[in-house]
């Protein structure tokens, strides 16, 4: 118990200094490890993802806990297994997206390189067929059917494109034909693809066996991470409710100071809404104060109905259980709790009609089990003991039970309305009575516990508050008789005397606080006067020293200025002549530059080729005025200042446009596909399209990207409602040409784009 409470305190202090532990993404690994074991280590990259998350989290937590200077967290760090070798192996095999890297093995790198070359060859062959058979095609694109590259041929022109038919469109107007010219090339691609899969399966199976060799350390790591996560949850609970670790009582004393039940405390309202769905807007509970020495084995709580008796039992029992589970409790400093070996309760109505159990019979069964379990260190919490039957018989059973329970070494807190049980407790030195406070003026309880009093039930006051007629209440009072009146008067006098004592104690405490505050104020003023006197003396000496140093610096500065003025006087004539000569040269250079700029500007005209200085972008002038020009660059128009353009020869621009891999690649893509500014990844923009339309567009772009030898394709779908993004990711996650997919990085469009890694 003490260790768990200390750990909770250490994790809370660690979180304040260093933040939360990196535990995100960790889950139970048992299903994944069992699946790997059943398959002998074989699995997909997705099967290893949760295992690698747990391994990385373990290493990250170990590094984070290395900053802890507390003993229990240091022990937790030592209990975490080390996975540096396994993690290093995983980093060599898997990329950031979890897919196998090309260089995971030399053979895989070779096969994938050959695949890309063969796809490029197939692409060139099919491009020629697209041009030669364009009149027989339904669309000028290459499609992938059954892992074979095909052409979409009009059904009416089937005989004009010889080859193997693999599929038909939904409308039936288009058939997908694998031309004879690429059958062998497709066969090679299929063989290479199978070889790639075999090598990938071999690598993953080998890695899976390494994982299985670490199965027990992985299970231990997840257990330790789960324990640390529970500690952080405990710390969050404590922070939310201003909870703290109680003192542990060595002598069996039980002290609660300002204790609050979490289900009633306003500070836990947000937590109750999130976890329990609570909707009520109630007032905050009255804190509970309780002082029960070790010699008091029994506390009998009495008072009016709905006065808080049951809450006293539940608060005392729940906070004791929380503390013994290592959870800080919502109570004020000074709270001291004993350690119980067992806590048993009999609270609420456990009657069951179908099993012939009444309220009283079910209560007796529970009390029997509580008595069987009783031994030193046991605690019993019993609500309305001896109730639900004849008061005399119920009182006798309750008293006999409590005598036996205390004799066996147990401690108990019980609530009751029965006078005989209250008298029994008042007559014993090892027992004490306590009453719940009741306001006679308002007819409502105040929910404060007063030890030393036998509380009254205030049944007539509660009945009056509930709306019973005055005549009925007066008749009840006459039935109770004079003895009841005298007892009520005596108990009321005792309650008022106790209330006066309590008010006097509160006034005395306030006076002590006022005197203490005044003493602190006087002491602070004395320290302030002493500090001010010392400060003034120190500032006076410091000011004198500053003035002396400033005078010395001023004399030295004036002497240095005099010497410098003498030296400058000798150089002034030469400097004036040199500056005049340089100014003349600068004016000539500026004039020459302006003349050259006017000559270049005069050569600019619509239709001429020009380059933007500084950017290196080249294009054709489409519009021109005195200050601005519009330049067409690869179908895009750019508005620039006229002074930033310089003319180039049209023939040079044409050669640069027609040459180069980037331009050649761009010419083969559909109108919706283009390269990004860096020229690294082809893109397809489907923003504003429906899911089916977008899927078809991406299919075409994917086929073209594969033919061109690209390794990735960026799909730009935007954010929107997320339906288009989710639909595209689900449809292409299992696509045979897609090895993996991920959201775009910060410079790739973020979650508004999806990056497809091509096989």
Structural domain boundaries in the chain? 2-83+214-240, 106-208, 245-455, 609-658, 661-758
Signed CA dihedral, 619, 621, 624, 630: sign only: negative
The pLDDT value recorded for residue 650 is: 52
Query: Average pLDDT, stretch 64-89?
Result: 90
- Which pLDDT band, with edges at 50, 70 and 90, does 454 fall under? low
Pairing of strands 336-337, 247-248: parallel
Is pLDDT above 50 for 616? Answer: yes
pLDDT at 676: 41
- Spatial distance between the Cα atoms of 707 and 669, rounded to a whole number of angstroms: 10
Question: For position 206, what pLDDT does the model report?
Answer: 92
> pLDDT value at position 94?
92
Is residue 180 within 8 A of residue 740, CB to CB? The reply is: no
Which residue is associated with the tokens 């409470």?
5
Let me know: does 653 contact 634? Beta carbons within 8 Å: no
pLDDT the model gives residue 478:
67
Ranking 392-406, 417-431, 652-666 by mean pLDDT, the lowest is: 652-666
More confident position, 111 or 305 = 111
Residues 6+ apart with CB under 8 A from 495: 435, 437, 450, 453, 456
Confidence of residue 422 (pLDDT cuts 50, 70, 90): confident
Which option is the CATH number for 106-208: 3.30.2310, 1.10.10, 1.10.1420, 3.30.70? 1.10.1420
Of 257, 287, 256, 261, residue with least CA distance to 272? 261
Residue 249 has pLDDT above 50, yes or no: yes
- Of residues 387 and 666, which shows the higher confidence score? 387
Structure tokens, 214: 């670490």
- Of 35-39, 537-541, 722-726, the poorest mean pLDDT is in 537-541
Q: What integer pLDDT is reported at residue 597 of this predicted model?
A: 59
Whether pTM > 0.75 for this model: the answer is no
CA-CA distance, 361 to 639, in Å (whole number)?
93
Residue 262 above 80 pLDDT? yes
- Higher pLDDT: 674 or 327? It is 327
% of the chain beyond a pLDDT of 90: 17
| pLDDT over 80 (residue 602) | no
pLDDT digits (tens, 9 = 90+) for 428-442: 899 988 887 766 555
- The mean pLDDT of 631-657, rounded to a whole number, is 65
Contact 209, 41 (CB under 8 A): yes
Q: Is the pLDDT of residue 567 over 60?
A: yes
Q: Which residues pair with 684 in a beta bridge?
A: 673, 715
Distance separating alpha carbons of residues 3 and 72, to the nearest angstrom: 8
**Quick one: pLDDT at residue 736?**
81
- Comparing 507 with 79, the larger pLDDT belongs to 79
**Pairwise CA distance, residues 150 & 180, whole Å:** 10
CA distance 278 to 269: 8
User: Is 717 a residue whose pLDDT tops 80?
Assistant: yes
Contact 208, 39 (CB under 8 A): yes
Query: What does the pLDDT read at residue 667?
Result: 40
Residues 147, 759 contacting (CB under 8 angstroms)? no
Q: What CATH number belongs to 245-455?
A: 3.40.50.300
Note whether 47 and 35 are within 8 A (CB).
Answer: yes
How far apart, in whole angstroms, are the C-alpha atoms of residue 205 and residue 212? 10
Q: Encode pLDDT of 283-325 as tens digits.
A: 677 888 888 898 999 999 887 766 678 888 999 999 999 998 8
What per-residue confidence (pLDDT) applies to 705? 79
Model confidence at 677, pLDDT cuts 50, 70, 90, reads very low
Whether residue 41 is predicted with pLDDT greater than 90 in this model: the reply is: no
Which DSSP helix (H) or strand (E) runs through 344? Answer: strand 342-346
CATH class of 661-758: alpha beta
Q: How confident is the model at residue 675 (pLDDT cuts 50, 70, 90)?
A: very low
Q: Is 523's pLDDT higher than 90?
A: no
- Residue bearing the bigger pLDDT, 461 or 624: 624
Average pLDDT for residues 567-579, to the nearest whole number? 54
- Residue 182, pLDDT above cutoff 70: yes
């Amino acid at each position: 118990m003490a260790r768990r409470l200390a750990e909770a305190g250490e994790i809370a202090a660690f979180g304040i200094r260093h933040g939360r532990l990196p535990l995100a993404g960790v889950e139970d690994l048992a299903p994944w490890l069992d699946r790997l074991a059943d398959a002998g280590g074989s699995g997909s990259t997705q099967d290893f993802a949760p295992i690698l998350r747990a391994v990385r989290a373990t290493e990250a937590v170990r590094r984070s806990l290395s900053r802890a200077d507390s003993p229990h967290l240091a022990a937790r760090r030592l209990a975490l297994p080390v996975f540096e070798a396994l993690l290093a192996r995983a980093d060599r095999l898997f990329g950031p997206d979890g897919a196998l890297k090309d260089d995971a093995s030399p053979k895989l790198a070779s096969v994938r390189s050959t695949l890309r070359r063969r796809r490029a060859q197939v692409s060139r062959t099919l491009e020629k067929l697209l041009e030669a058979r364009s009149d027989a095609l339904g669309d000028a694109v290459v499609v992938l059917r059954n892992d074979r590259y095909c052409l979409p041929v009009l059904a009416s022109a089937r005989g004009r494109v010889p080859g193997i038919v693999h599929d038909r469109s939904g409308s039936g107007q288009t058939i997908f034909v694998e031309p004879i010219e690429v059958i062998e090339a497709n066969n090679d691609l299929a063989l290479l693809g199978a070889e790639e899969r075999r090598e990938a399966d071999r690598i993953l199976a080998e890695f899976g066996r390494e994982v299985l060799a670490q199965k027990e350390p992985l299970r231990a790591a997840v257990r330790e991470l789960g324990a640390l996560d529970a500690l952080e949850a405990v710390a969050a609970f404590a922070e939310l409710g201003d909870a703290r670790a109680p003192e542990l009582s060595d002598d069996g004393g039980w002290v609660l100071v300002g204790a609050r039940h979490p289900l009633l405390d306003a500070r836990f309202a947000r937590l109750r809404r999130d976890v329990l769905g609570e909707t009520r807007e109630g007032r905050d509970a009255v804190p509970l104060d309780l002082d029960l020495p070790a010699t008091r084995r029994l506390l009998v709580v009495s008072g009016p109905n709905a006065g808080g008796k049951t809450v006293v039992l539940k608060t005392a029992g729940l906070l004791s259980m929380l503390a013994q589970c290592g959870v800080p409790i919502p109570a004020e400093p000074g709270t001291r709790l004993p350690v119980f070996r067992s806590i048993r309760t009999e609270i609420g109505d456990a009657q069951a009609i179908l099993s012939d159990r009444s309220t009283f019979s079910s209560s007796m069964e529970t009390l029997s089990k509580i008595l069987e379990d009783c031994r030193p260190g046991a605690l019993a919490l019993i609500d309305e003991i001896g109730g639900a039957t004849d008061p005399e018989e119920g009182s006798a059973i309750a008293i006999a039970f409590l005598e036996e329970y205390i004799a066996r070494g147990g401690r108990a807190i019980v609530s009751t309305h029965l006078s005989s049980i209250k008298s029994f407790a008042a007559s014993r030195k090892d027992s004490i009575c306590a009453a719940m406070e009741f306001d006679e003026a308002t007819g409502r309880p105040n929910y404060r516990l007063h030890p030393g009093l036998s509380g009254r039930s205030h049944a007539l006051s509660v009945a009056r508050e509930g709306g019973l007629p005055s005549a009925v209440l007066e008749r009840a009072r006459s039935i109770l008789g004079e003895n009841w009146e005298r007892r009520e008067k005596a108990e009321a006098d005792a309650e008022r005397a106790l209330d006066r004592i309590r008010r006097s104690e509160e006034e005395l405490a306030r006076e002590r606080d006022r005197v203490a505050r005044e003493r602190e104020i006087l002491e602070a003023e004395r320290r302030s006067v002493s500090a001010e006197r010392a400060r003034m003396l120190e500032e006076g000496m410091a000011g004198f020293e500053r003035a002396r140093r400033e005078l010395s610096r001023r004399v030295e500065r004036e002497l240095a200025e005099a010497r410098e003025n003498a030296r400058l006087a000798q150089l002034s004539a030469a400097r004036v002549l040199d500056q005049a000569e340089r100014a003349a040269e600068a004016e000539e250079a500026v004039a020459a530059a302006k003349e050259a700029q006017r000559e270049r500007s005069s050569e600019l005209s619509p239709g001429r080729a020009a380059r933007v200085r500084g950017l290196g972008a080249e294009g054709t002038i489409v519009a021109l005025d005195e200050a601005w020009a519009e330049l067409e660059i690869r179908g895009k128009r750019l508005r620039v200042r006229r002074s930033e353009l310089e003319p180039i020869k049209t023939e040079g621009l044409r050669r640069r446009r027609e040459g180069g891999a980037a331009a050649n690649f761009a010419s083969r893509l559909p109108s919706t596909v283009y390269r990004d500014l860096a020229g690294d990844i082809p893109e397809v923009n489907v923003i504003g399209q429906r899911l089916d339309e977008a899927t078809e567009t991406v299919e075409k772009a994917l086929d073209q990207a594969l033919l061109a030898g690209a390794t990735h394709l960026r799909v730009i779908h935007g954010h929107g409602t997320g339906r288009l993004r989710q639909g595209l990711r689900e449809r292409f996650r299992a696509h045979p040409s897609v090895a993996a997919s991920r959201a775009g990085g910060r410079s790739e469009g973020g979650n508004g784009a999806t990056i497809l890694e091509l096989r």
